[in-house]
Structure 1
């Protein structure tokens, strides 16, 4: 039971049900979404301490960064040696989007994915990455996804987490560990992302 509770694989794979098939050019979006939620949903379910979930996300970002630069994210596909960059640069995209939606628009990634699921997602959905991004903006993303997609898709370096980390009150100490600010807005934002939701933790629920 301890091994089952500690395993991330099932949560990661089930999180792929939140998006359509996006092809090789959208692999970074698909794997990034599952990598983001494998930590977020386990924290919400009480399988991970919230701060440990942030540390695991950050550990993924560090692994992705160590891969070094490569092809544009929308062209990297299944290239050898790029797995950590694909998964964790993608997760950085979704974290950035979630933070911006919560801070600037009073909504969140869960709600947008829920609306998208209700209107547009079925068992054999297939979309080009840009079509998926546009659909998310129509479902309540208010242009956040398109703006971030243009920037992230063109990246050849691993994305910086400086902006979302500032909003979240997360910083790195000299010993390569995370520090968490007790500033009220940052605490509320971290809790809103990693804390248990009032009803269902699954993004497929509408508000």
Structure 2
């Protein structure tokens, strides 16, 4: 059983785009003195299911209520699953379980994902504040972020940065490819946030420095640089998306424990390059400052006021366009299933 967990707490301020996200990865352990079981054994009052990208997604609802109607909550889950399936060409695991736990007198979302627990390849517990609004869910990235975690094998703590970095990088791109976000929005966010991953004066490589910035945004920098480099080496025929699809096709999902080298070798085989393995050799043990300004310039991402504008005459504008373009496999939409009460 793989019970490593990934936690993202999204405060109300963060949902408005101006707050902080706090994260941790640790083995599940009840608080001292508590006898409660693991999250996947929590009570369920009702369930719904749908299919997307060859997978069955079971959505369970725990005790409590939220202000939003049930169909709106389900649409939030379906959009996230559809975005992940669209990016990967299928949903990464054949069966996924999502538990929605209402939180009284709260607003916001907190997500945690495990692999290989409770009889499912993947399980996500989503704590949903009772007062969460429709706009909050429309703007939310947490659900998609958590489902991206299903698409990479579980790593040791030193390599946790690739799990979180991939989720940070892939989540917004998947939502653009699924028609849920404009490309300008995510490139603007990357220009603003990617520098948070730069190494500090006392930092080591990605395997050695486990700060929030290096884990989440240092990992995201690795993914951005890998995506651009793969596309440069393949004349824009392949990208990180192809590498990640190859890892999933080889069986590299959250319910498996693979060394990072095995995952990167599978990804490189999918692009016919050695980009992931070479970059890992270069960045895992030594601090590397990625030339973000140089990347934005050649991709044609130009700061403009509080956002960005695109320069389609930039040398690698075609790479920028390809990264967020809906793949040839097309959008993969959900097919709704059944609703039933617990015990039925």
Q: TM-score, normalised by structure 2?
A: 0.51
Partner in structure 2 of residue 18 of structure 1 = 151
Does residue 99 (structure 1) correspond to residue 228 (structure 2)? The answer is: yes
Partner in structure 1 of residue 328 of structure 2 = 198
Moved more, 7-16 or 128-137: 128-137
Shift of 1:190: 1.7
Q: Distance in 2 between matches of 1:176 and 1:153?
A: 33
Partner in structure 1 of residue 70 of structure 2 = none
Partner in structure 2 of residue 33 of structure 1 = 166
Does residue 9 (structure 1) correspond to residue 138 (structure 2)? The answer is: no
Does residue 183 (structure 1) correspond to residue 316 (structure 2)? The answer is: no
Q: Distance in 2 between matches of 1:27 and 1:157?
A: 18
Which among 42, 60, 64 is matched to residue 197 of structure 2? Answer: 64
Q: Distance in 2 between matches of 1:201 and 1:86?
A: 30
Partner in structure 2 of residue 85 of structure 1 = 214
Shift of 1:27: 1.0
Gaps of 5+ in 2: 1-133, 333-344
Larger relative strand fraction: 2
Which among 203, 207, 223 is matched to residue 74 of structure 1? Answer: 207
User: Runs (4+) of structure 1 moved beyond 6 Å?
Assistant: none
Tell me the secondary structure at the aligned position of residue 120 of structure 1: coil
Which among 187, 197, 200 is matched to residue 54 of structure 1? Answer: 187
Computed over aligned residues only, the root mean square deviation of the Cα atoms, in angstroms, reads 2.5
Partner in structure 1 of residue 265 of structure 2 = 134
Q: Distance in 1 between matches of 2:319 and 2:197?
A: 24
Contact 1:61 1:92 in 2 (8 A): yes
Larger Rg: 2
Gaps of 5+ in 1: 203-207
Contact 2:302 2:310 in 1 (8 A): yes
Number of residues of Structure 1 aligned to a counterpart in Structure 2: 196
Greater RCO, 1 or 2 (C-alpha within 8 Å, sep 6+): 1
Q: Distance in 2 between matches of 1:8 and 1:171?
A: 24
Q: Distance in 1 between matches of 2:276 and 2:331?
A: 22
TM alignment of 1:108-127, pairs within 5 A: 108-122=239-253, 124-127=255-258
Larger relative helix fraction: 1
CA offsets 1:35-91 (integer angstroms, 9 cap, x no match):
0012211222222210111111222213334x73423211224xxxx1122111111
CA offsets 1:80-111 (integer angstroms, 9 cap, x no match):
xx112211111111111111222221211222
Shift of 1:12: 0.9
Q: Distance in 2 between matches of 1:157 and 1:142?
A: 21
Contact 1:89 1:158 in 2 (8 A): no
Q: TM-score, normalised by structure 1?
A: 0.82
CA offsets 1:2-47 (integer angstroms, 9 cap, x no match):
2212011011111111210011111111111000012211222222
Contact 1:112 1:140 in 2 (8 A): yes
Tell me the secondary structure at the aligned position of residue 316 of structure 2: helix
